[in-house]
Amino acid sequence: MAMKQEEFWERDNFLIVTDGTKPAIKWTIDELRKRGKNIHVLDYSEKPAEGSIQDIPSVPAGVRNVIIGITKKDPSGVIRELVERGISDYWVHWKTDTNDVRDLESEPELNIITGRCPMMYLGSSASIHGFHRFVAKMFGKY
């Protein structure tokens, strides 16, 4: 039986929120593109990537799954704004979740994954991410 973290990656329509401070978010974008997923990038960095979105009102309708890896602002504010757009499924990158994000986890209408690096689930076995996955499984942290 697949875990909720594994099931998250079986979906097709993603918004990735970045501010350029978490390298694993760039790798996540690259990996999802390789897998042919429909992705949009909301880029809060000082030099947003070409073709990225710069604000929440520009997020296309139909986005259902959000990966957040930002450190320059509290991700809970982004989640709250996206909830108003009807989005309920979130993955907040390991070590970027805050107390406010953890408070939102208890909201019954929200599905929020925290404490995990997306690449631990997306990376190949022959990568540092595969090694991370192996170690996490050994210690029951997968």
Query: pLDDT band at residue 44, thresholds of 50, 70 and 90?
Result: very high
Give the start-to-end residue ranges of the domains of the chain.
Answer: 4-138
CATH number assigned to the domain with residue range 4-138, chosen from the 4 options 3.90.380.10, 3.40.50.720, 3.40.50.1000, 3.90.226.10: 3.40.50.720
Q: Is the pLDDT of residue 90 over 90?
A: yes
CB-CB contact of 118 with 91 (8 Å):
yes
pLDDT of residue 1: 47
Residue 20 or residue 135, greater confidence:
20
Give the start-end residues of each E strand in 6-124.
13-18, 38-43, 65-69, 89-93, 111-116
Comparing CA positions, the residue from 108, 63, 67, 107 lying closest to residue 86 is: 63
DSSP H helices in the chain? 4-8, 23-34, 75-83, 99-104, 118-122, 128-138
Residue 99 or residue 136, greater confidence:
99
Q: Is the pLDDT of residue 123 over 70?
A: no
Q: Is the pLDDT of residue 131 over 50?
A: no
